[in-house]
Amino acid sequence: MHPQTDIRKDSTSAYGYTPTAWVGILMFVLFTLTTILHFLQSIRYRMWFLLWTTVVAGILESIGWAGRLWSSYNVLANVAFSMQIICTIIGPTPLIAANFVILGHIIRRLGQQYSRLSARWYTIIFVVCDIISLVVQALGGAAAAAAANNHKSPTSGSDIMLAGIIFQTAAITLYMLLAMEFFLRYFYDRPIRGRDIVNTGYALDSKMKQMIAALAFSSLCFYVRTWYRCIELGDGWEGTIIHTQRYFVIMDAVMIALAMWTLNIFHPARLLGYGTEWRADKSISMQNVQAQDSETTVGMGFSDQGEPKYPQ
């Protein structure tokens, strides 16, 4: 990208610079292609949850980058600015929800006795956190865009977005810590005490290893992006970070594009089976499922009857 667009501030532009056209074209094409591919893969493999996660994320990113591309030709277009700020801030959120669902399924296959949360509660808790983050970021993005378009200070909207990003970062940090604990317990065969030991019939084969590696890389890309957004918004609407184009392109757009393309290449259906097989696997380890899903009683060391179980 032209270095002047990163260094010279344009007081007439809400960006602080004029977005570079070729970057907009490149990212729009990359996000559009990965979205189309995710849509086709979701239909072919009957992986319906990917329609409302990766596909929605890709659509939002494509709209956001269409707005930035539009801005590169007309930097004063208010609609274009609103498109990019709202869609690029909330776009990646549905993507991480896909990672939550995939990890929950891996837990179900490798053994819920190694996980602090059951597969079901893992998905519920973190997807709800994702939805809360999405709503907060969307409200903040809309407020910031409206203020900027009316030549008013977007600080209030930016602060709302920052709150949503911080909440999302905290949720992802917890998700990654719990995931690491699960895999460490699995590798060292250290199930959580008080949990029923269930043989699921699945092993850590080469495809499962590929899926775990892809999931870890995708989650790391998203984690880098959330921290960048925290720093960017924390620096302020008039700060150097938000007015430097290459930071946004590398730390936000490239990270999310890598995460999306990684799941295209290492697709969960190709590595773990079609959607029909995933739905059938929900019956795995359903023995004493109430106890497995009752995280409060298990976490406090009590059985479903209120009697003490083994200490954690």
Percent of the chain with pLDDT over 90: 48
* Whether pTM exceeds 0.85: no
Which residues are registered as beta bridge partners of 302?
Answer: 308
Is the predicted pLDDT of residue 9 greater than 60, yes or no? no
Domain boundaries, the chain: 14-194+203-279
* pLDDT score for 280: 66
Least confident range from 35-39, 200-204, 217-221, 307-311: namely: 307-311
How does the average pLDDT of the chain come out, rounded?
84
* pLDDT score for 73: 94
Is the predicted pLDDT of residue 200 greater than 80, yes or no? no
The more confident residue out of 303 and 180 is 180
Long-range pairs for 214-220 at CB < 8 Å and ≥24 separation? Answer: 214/262, 214/263, 214/265, 214/266, 214/271, 215/99, 215/102, 215/103, 215/106, 217/258, 217/259, 217/262, 218/99, 218/258, 218/259, 218/262, 218/263, 219/96, 219/99, 219/172, 219/175, 219/176, 219/179, 219/259
Length of the chain as a residue count: 312
Q: How far apart are CA 218 and CA 224, in angstroms?
A: 10
Is the predicted pLDDT of residue 62 greater than 60, yes or no? yes
pLDDT digit string, tens, across residues 109-159: 888 888 888 778 878 888 898 889 889 988 988 888 888 777 787 878 888
Q: At what angle do helices 206-234 and 255-265 cross, to 10 degrees?
A: 170
- The CATH number fitting domain 14-194+203-279, selected from 2.60.40, 1.10.10, 1.20.1070, 1.10.3470: 1.20.1070
Only one residue has tokens 């690491």, namely 180
pLDDT digit string, tens, across residues 42-58: 999 999 999 999 999 99
Confidence band for 304, pLDDT divided at 50, 70 and 90: very low
